[in-house]
DNA sequence: CCGCATCCGAATGGATACTG
DNA sequence: CAGTATCCATTCGGATGCGG
């Protein structure tokens, strides 16, 4: 269950330091960001322009979309290509690294769908008090 | 790449509503929480008491540990069993659902470790400006 | 031993207006 | 078209003290 975490060494206490330098922790937190995976899933189909993404995801502000794209770009999961012209066009696309991320993400999604009922039931039980 | 998201239907715009009711979104965000997966990985080895977990994870405050445990319990990933006595003992352990979550999480961890170098390189490139 | 209550600072998410 | 600049709301993470 350690996901390659420093916590593999379960015998010894885990420090904040170890937890934060662990490569898996960063990935897990990236996955937890609200719109990142959704953007990746759109780009998995084909490249998109900025406003195109903005329109595709109803309710996401440009401010947040920009930050999301920058983060994904910084991690090397997507590429940003500027095509000069009138009007200018910037194209976002998955990189090889981004594509390689697809599989583990799909596994997680599959698990979520497969166990959706159980999770809902657990929550209802918990919230119901009992 | 959709991870079972409502975004599977890529042809149509994704609304905030669809995104938030998607079962995968909740799982992804749970994974992104700072300490949840670490706690799961500890409990994967054996059951723990509350203070035992507190000691095992150096630097995590009780306040946050409590919230983390409640969240995991609410989703049915861990169980909380009270053993009366002096002193009282509460035991946290993985449920079957929690154990089933292990595999997809390991995949993600494996990916993180396998691509750690690429990610670091991409970040250095991005931060360096170029 | 196991927590909850309180209070706080930081990070995240969001609405809007304006610019090259 | 593709953003940036501002400002605000919410959530998350954390420190600490008290109580069953």
> 3-state SS of chain B?
CCCCCHHHCCCCCEEHHHHHHCHHHHHHHHHHCCCHHHHHHHHCCCCEEHHHHHHHEECCCHHHHHHHHHHHHHCCCEEEEEECCCCCEEEEEECHHHHHCHHHHHHHHHHHHHCHHHHHHHHHHHHHCC
Region A18-47: what's the mean pLDDT?
A: 94
Q: CA gyration radius for chain B?
A: 19
B52 CB neighbours in chain A (<8 A) are none
Interatomic distance B81 CA / D8 C1' (Å): 42
Helical (H) or strand (E) element with A79: strand A78-83
Mean of all residue pLDDT scores within chain A: 90
Sign of the Cα torsion A41, A102, A19, B67 reads positive
| Closest partner CB to B23 (pick from A40, A97, A113) | A113
Residue B6 — very low, low, confident or very high, per pLDDT cuts 50/70/90? very low
CB atoms under 10 Å from CB of A63, counted, come to 8
Contact of A86 with chain B, judged by CB distance below 8 Å, is answered with: no
Q: Is residue B85 over pLDDT 90?
A: no
Percentage of chain A beyond pLDDT 70 is 91
Region A89-110: what's the mean pLDDT?
A: 96
Cβ atoms of residues A13 and B56 within 8 Å: yes
Lowest-pLDDT choice from A2-16, B21-35, B59-73, B96-110: A2-16
Q: pLDDT tens for residues B45-78? A: 999 999 999 999 998 999 999 999 999 999 999 9
CB-CB under 8 Å, A111 with B101: yes
Tracing tokens 């990933």 back to the chain, one arrives at B77
> Per the structure block, which two tokens stand in for B100?
């089933």
Cβ atoms of residues B126 and A24 within 8 Å: no
Residue A6 — very low, low, confident or very high, per pLDDT cuts 50/70/90? very low
What 3-state class would DSSP assign to A15? strand
Distance (Å) of CA B37 to CA A19, A87, A90, B15? 11, 46, 37, 29
User: What residue ranges define each of the domains in chain B, with the CATH number in brackets?
Assistant: 16-97 (1.10.10.10)
Which residues between 5 and 24 in chain B have a beta carbon less than 8 angstroms from any beta carbon of chain A?
A: 5, 7, 10, 13-17, 19, 23-24
> Best of B73, B109, B114 to disrupt the A interface by mutation (most A CBs within 10 Å)?
B109
Rounded-to-integer distance, Cα B62 and Cα B60, Å: 7
Tracing tokens 């940003």 back to the chain, one arrives at A80
* pTM of the complete model: 0.92
Q: Is residue B11 over pLDDT 60?
A: no
Rounded-to-integer distance, Cα A120 and Cα A86, Å: 50
Residue B9 — very low, low, confident or very high, per pLDDT cuts 50/70/90? very low
């Amino acid at each position: 269950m350690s996901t390659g975490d420093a916590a593999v060494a379960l015998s010894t206490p885990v420090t904040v330091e170890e937890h934060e330098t662990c490569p898996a922790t960063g990935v897990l937190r990236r996955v937890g960001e609200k719109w990142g995976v959704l953007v990746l899933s759109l780009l998995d189909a084909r490249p998109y322009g900025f406003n195109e993404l903005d329109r595709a995801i109803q309710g996401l502000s440009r401010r947040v979309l920009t930050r999301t794209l920058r983060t994904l770009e910084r991690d090397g999961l997507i590429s940003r290509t500027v095509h000069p012209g009138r009007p200018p066009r910037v194209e976002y696309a998955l990189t090889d690294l981004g594509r390689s991320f697809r599989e583990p993400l799909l596994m997680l999604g599959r698990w979520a769908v497969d166990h959706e009922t159980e999770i809902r039931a657990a929550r209802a039980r918990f919230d119901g008090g009992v």
